[in-house]
């Protein structure tokens, strides 16, 4: 499973009949994702904490993604990047990304109760 976060309003505007292109596919050449839940929270707080919009997390089955998925090294970490539009049948779940009153993103409660090693 790989994960992609985006503002909830943008996800609500997404047509179920169209491929998802995200906000970086054309500007950077790929859709940003993470492969670890804890890392997603860290990235969210590093880049989006000051953005007060509600966010959601797309849980994407990497094996179902039609576009090329490459794991690229950024610093000392590996991130999955989707090099093309995302087919929506690869999105197996969409969950709200909870925040504290100060804007800090926290682990969704659905994930806190799971004993998943990643």
Taking only the tens place, the pLDDT of each residue in 15-29 is: 988 999 999 999 999
Per-residue pLDDT tens for 37-59?
Answer: 999 999 999 999 999 999 999 99
- Compute the Cα dihedral for 42, 47, 51, 55 and give only its sign: negative
**Distance between CA atoms of 27 and 99, rounded to whole angstroms?**
28
Per-residue pLDDT tens for 80-91?
Answer: 999 999 999 999
Number of domains in the chain: 1
Q: Which residue range is the domain that position 44 belongs to?
A: 2-98
Among residues 80, 66, 67, the alpha carbon closest in space to that of 33 is found at 80
> Is 117 within the bounds of a domain?
no
List strand residue ranges (DSSP E) for the chain, in order. 2-7, 31-32, 55-60, 68-74, 77-83, 91-97
Q: What percent of the chain has pLDDT over 90?
A: 88
Q: Which two tokens stand for residue 95?
A: 């969950």
> Is 77 within the bounds of a domain?
yes
The CATH number of residue 30's host domain is 3.20.170.20
Please, which pLDDT band fits residue 113 given cuts at 50, 70 and 90? low
Please, which pLDDT band fits residue 118 given cuts at 50, 70 and 90? very low
> Is 74 within the bounds of a domain?
yes
**Distance between CA atoms of 74 and 93, rounded to whole angstroms?**
26
Q: Across the chain, what does the average pLDDT equal? A: 93
Q: Determine how many CB atoms are found less than 10 A away from the CB of residue 58.
A: 23
């Amino acid at each position: 499973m790989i994960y992609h976060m985006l503002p909830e309003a943008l996800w609500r505007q997404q047509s179920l009949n169209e491929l998802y292109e995200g906000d970086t596919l054309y500007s950077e050449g790929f859709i940003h994702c993470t492969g670890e839940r804890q890392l997603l929270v860290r990235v969210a707080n590093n880049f989006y904490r000051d953005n007060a919009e509600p966010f959601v997390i797309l849980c994407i089955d990497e094996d179902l993604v039609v576009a090329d998925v490459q794991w690229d090294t950024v610093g000392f970490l590996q991130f999955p990047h989707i090099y093309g539009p995302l087919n929506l049948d690869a999105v197996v779940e969409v969950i709200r990304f909870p925040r504290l009153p100060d804007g800090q993103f926290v682990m969704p409660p659905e994930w806190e109760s799971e004993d998943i090693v990643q």
